[in-house]
Structure 1
Amino acid sequence: MELTFIIVRHPAMLYSKKLSFWTILVLMFFKDTCRTHEMDDFNKIQFEAAFQGECGHGSPCEQLCYELHDGMYECDCRQDYILREDGYSCAEINSTFVSSTSPQTKFNYSDVIYQKDAVLDISEVNENNTYSNDIPNLQISEITSQGPSLEQKLTEVSSVDEKRTTASISTTGPCILNCGIGGICVRNAQGRQSCLCPLGKVGTNCHKDLDVRSPRFQGSSWLAFPALSGAYKHVQLVVELRPESYDGIILLTGERDDMVGDFMALLLYQGRVQFRFDCGSGMGIVQSEETVLLNQWNHITLFRHRWDAWLQLNGKHHAQGRSKGLFSRITFREPVFIGGPGNTTNLADKLPVESGFKGCIRHLEINDHVYNFGLEPKGEAIKGSGIEECRADRCSRVPCQHGGKCLTGTDSAVCLCPLGFSGDLCEIRVDLQVPAFNGSSHLRYKGLGEEALTWLDFEITFKPNSPDGLLLYNGHRSDGYGDFMVLYLIEGYVEFAFDLGTGSSVVTSKYRITLGEWHKVRISRTGRLAILFVDNQPTMETTSPGAFTQLSLPQNLFLGGVVNFGTVSPHVKIRSSFVGCVQSLRIGGRQIPILAEALGGANVNNCPHPCVAKPCGEDGVCIPEMDYFTCRCKPGYRDQACSKGPPSFSGIDSFLYFNDAHTLDSLMADPITLNIRFKSTSTDGLLLWLNNGLGGGFISVGLEKGDLVLRFSNRNEEVVVVHNNTYVHDNLWHRVKAIRDGGTGLLIVDNGPAVTHQAVAVWRRPRPPSPDEEGLFVGGMPHAILLRTIYRTGIKGCVADIVINTDYHLRLVGDRDNNVRECDS
């Protein structure tokens, strides 16, 4: 390479009587010695002028003076003024500009002094030109400029689209989607086709209109605003964005579309915000210390004045930086590209990332101007591609509870609730029995893996409420390609499709199925042959193409829908989830516990079905059978409802014990009412004992020499209420109501008269009970503890029902039971 220096004396200095020094412009060009360069290779010279000396030492600057590097300075003007061609005086922007050059001079030097992007066309010598004395054989025939006070040239709209960077898009193979006017059909790395729609259009074929308020960028998207005006030395920028990736170009603009010359870029690099800018003599880089928050709104403030810049992320640390070299102004001719590089090339030479931004932008402000993202004339964008409307803000108004995730639709946002919760905000806890799917639901299971290699047999019972929807899906790859099997509804028909690796095959039911009714579908597949059974319809079958016979399904199995249809094979016709109920799934002859074996799911609620009411009790399992059910009961339960007889006690170390928080809390009330249904054959024995652990306080109900007795502690006294009007040890069922109200006790037996007669004895406070003694004992107590009471045995009999304070029914299966049997009747 050969380095050539051209030193030019600035024309304005020749006629200025005020200046006693020269302006030196050094322009460096690299010449390739392997090629012959004609003179027209240098027909356009870009420069920025600077004076030798210092401000304040006889400088001629009329308004402002800025000292540069290396003993140089330059003149400037205040707002609403522009620098004249003499390099030091100022003219009001909208006033008539009078040149200080000779009347014979036909050239316009407006702004040329400080605009290094001024263009000088060099042609043959004009002997009458007053400047030819300094540059022999050259004539400056025309000088043009695109300074901040002039209208700047904008890249043609068509060229913005035609030269748009597509480095991140693979175009291998033909792309045949009809993307409408202005849309571009592209392929991703997996070969899947999609449309990049022009700004203002969305949809599979760019057929829907879109009013953009807060754009969402996909990584290959971008939009363009007109080039910046009046921003050559000062830029103040504010942007609010919600990134979905740690890398991407947020804003890019500059002098040329090939990144040669001036530029500035705001981008994300490895999670940090980075600002790069070049005034023409060396790049400056400013980077935030903090990283952006993914999927959250972030606030970025950027300020650049001449060489210096600082930026701030989310109100945190101010990062500062400075550009290199002598020049301090940036020329902007290219559009302001937002969200991607647009038509800009040679990014690798200047930026660490080449891909576009992925996420949403809801606010952009540059030099106090807030941009409208819509397409002109309604908005300010001149062009764009692949832009969607951001829906993230809608989720701020939907605070999903219990781990629910916000899902945005076309006009709304809804909560995607985890298993066991439902409601608009996932606020309702649901005891799932028969799952119902609403079109945004799914259940996820371990995939079939190698279990379905050669043979697959499954049966599903469901009730649809919509004629379309995916029921069951299992695939080989997360991008949807490779082997798969799927069962779905389309226009009321049942279809089963599968792919063994040599092409998909589909079998369809002969007739439509009825909505709102239960149906049973069975699939039997052996090798390439699949048979479809739907209710009592004729069986249908199909054979897959090719020679492969094995089906490999390592991905998760989905029921009722999928998390993302991007994981579903493109050969599957349906792209919506199932709406309705599923009550049974059997795979390979094994009944699948639909809820118990689910690895996860969302938005699953209960189907209207008798099993939801738990007709089989707490200890039975309700098995749905279409609109009816059967109960699967544990051993020892006697009837269809899985109930069994009440507990029976033998008197010695035979009892039920309760110490759960709910039961203990209910027994701490004052007053407290106990309703007990029991029968006994013994004249003595403990029926019920509560030890609350508070200083040894207790309540007991028992039989003493045939009389029913209520005892409880009250301060340092023991209150005793004796009911001796009725025999209760006759092996017949009796109902007793025992009430403690402060220091008063009351006993009622079989709805008879209340007995309030009571005796008061001095209560000897026993030692504090151990944790095992705290709680409620029914039918008796452990013998060692019982000996510390007036009782020596528990009752011999049965207890059928205990109700505390009229609303808490004690479930007579204790946390710890001993020697308890089932009562005979």
Structure 2
Amino acid sequence: MPSTAAVLVCLSGLAVLAAASDTPEDVTSVPKLQFEAAFQGKCDSDSPCEHVCFELHDGMFECDCRMGYLLHPNGYSCQELNTTSEPSIELEISSQVLPEDADKDAEDILYSRDASFSAHLDPGNDLAASTPQPEAADESSTQPERVRFVPPSTTTATPQCLLECGVGLCLDVAAPNGRRQQRCQCPLGRTGTHCEIDTLEAPRIARFSGQSFLAFPALRGAYKDVQVTLEFKPETTDGVLLLAAERDDMAGDFLALVLVDSFLEFRFDCGSGEGGVRSPEPVLLNQWNKLTLYRHRWDAWLQLNGGKHVQGRSKGLFSRITFREPLFVGGPGNTTGLAAKLGASEGFRGCIRHLELNDHVYGFGLAPLGDASQGFDIEECSSDACSRLTCQHGGKCVSTGEIIATSSLGATAVDASCLCPLGYTGTYCEQRLELQVPSFNGSSFLRYEGLGSSALSWLEIRLVFKPESADGLLLYNGGRADGVGDFASLALVGGHLEFTFDLGTGPATVRSRTVVSLHSWHEVLVSRTGRSAWLQLDTQPPSHASSPGAFTQLMLAQSLYVGGVPSLEIVSPKAKARSSFVGCIQKLEINSRPIRLLASALSGMNVVNCAHPCSTRPCANGGHCIPDHEFFYCECPKGFKDVHCGTPAGKVEEIAIETTLNEPIPQFTGHSYLHFTDQETIKRIVSNKLNINIRFRTQSSGGLLLWSGRRSESSGGDSLALGVRAGMLELRYNLGSGEVLLVYNFSRVDDGLWHRVKALRNEQEGALIVDNGPMVTQRSPGRLRQLNTDTGLYIGGVEEPSRLPASQSWPGFVGCVSDFTLDGDYHVPLVHGAASGRNIEHCE
């Protein structure tokens, strides 16, 4: 029977392409067909697909079937599986048609007849597994034998290889002197001359001999996207580093990473033509190299050792790769036919210390201690400095490159150190660390959930930092893992602070007007709306810039990094920053929302405590230290007060305050008030921000504590009110586009005891805290952010209560008020500082 290479079928004006693999002429066997059909048009109700339709590129689409059905060779019909009769084509069927990430790439699946996309989702399967390629039926076995992997090199072993290797394999190989020698090739987990020794630990840095390999389970969820990070040290110029295929004879889909004449080559085939990309520079022999590789459908990007990004593209219409064979690392495993496909068939000789694929870091030991299902000839790479250093608590060993010893034979020993995860420090990451204010040393970073679509049109960043170096990356969020595409970056470059962003049509950079002084605290505010951005450092006038082109939206799909990044390869070259930040960061707000630097971090590395008063943990009795540039204040738990949370509430605190400030504590009768018009007080009320800290006690269930508004007779306009209603504390404010109400209903305050209230506002975001309890938050409507009042500030009541807005009509306050602070550091003298007042008595 002659083999068929391609068949073109016309169905209702739609073109169908079907590919069939070459098959030997054997009338007793079933031909092993491999087909994938593509049609012209779009996925809609008129498409011929019986079950599921997937859109491709260039105006094409292809069909697939639901669970329990096979795709007919015509490319659009679905045949129900008949398990009682012998099938003419044997297929491996996944339990789910949809890809595991169908929910995030739903635009690829545009039409499905009689199917629900939300039902029967199985995150363990990928589309490649559910779009099976036919194989010939095997009458002797229902499943292929894949328990034991035999390297191709064993087929050439001479009959004279008579070593007793137990569970290992005997190899006859060429010795350096040109003669032949015999040795045992031991399976993973065994070592010794005759493979007689069990190895108790998995190799942390694996060494491959050229006849070695590690086998991992077949790739899942990688049919469309594959991202690889690999750190390796080659000893020769050729060899197979990584291989994943559909079939063990390389006849179907595959991807491979090979060394050819010292250059890295990435080859892949989606079923309709091979594509590839080659590194522009050779690898460094006997040195550590780092590779970053990313494949998305037809396209692939490769970067070696932080060099130039190079790009390649596969041929044909099809964009999905089916993976059925194991993932082989360091050698071809049991795969044949490599020489014709890749130009290399020998295994890799050298060491591999890091393999990460689609965010999964592979362990080189046998499962369950590692991820490997099998392997041969794997040893610990003892020549590497990290083989002598054990980092605890998930720390990562890195070689410093510093030579610490040289042997008589010329071999060198290189120093190494541990990069410690968040919350640990020490030489081996053995010490637990309670972090207060994070410090970064140039190899540190904190990672958070990315901004995603929340920064599409508007992004505002507020950061308080103290630099120790004139260069370094403070904050970075990118759109792609290879540094290409949209990004936002805040960095020190040559002493100036730079905010750089790219919306897809070229970068824009806004730069601070002056150099940032080192070893002191600074505050920067960055705001971007559409193509325009401005940056303000401390009290300097803001700088402005606009991005080129017509794009106005910023999409940041990757993680957000603060203080540095794990690798500069993920940073766009357009960001200019080529090192991580050195110094301290104490505050971060994004889009007016405070970010808890340590509690909100998903991960971090090499972060220690800054030399700041909060690092000494000055707040007693469980109080929380809040840094405020070089100063601090304590948030005290219920029942404790004063600056260090050391004085029990209700004891002598009011006496101490009165003595210290030489000021009486005012008492309000319900017909009293204090009125403040001084500039120092009013400027802290009328602004974009508000920070009120006030103590009071009352037995009345209602009363006005604080008010500021407009002189207009109307009840609308900007206003601020804090008071007690029905025994609960309320905060109301109106920035001109509608009033917002915060009610603190966690506890009553009309019990005659002293209570401390914190009322906070950051532009539209408001917060209310009583006695260091839970925080109540709310956001005002509209787009206005500043409070503009002109009546001054009233405490305890107002002259004419009838002029208050209806929603803010409290009776006068009955009780005592003390310790009134604004912005965390300005103490308002209640009695001596008021411009006027009425019916004020002294609190006993």
Q: Do Structure 1 and Structure 2 share a fold, with TM-score over 0.5?
A: no
**TM tier relative to shorter chain:** 0.3 to 0.5
Say which one has the larger Rg.
1
Superposition TM-score, scaled by structure 2 size: 0.37
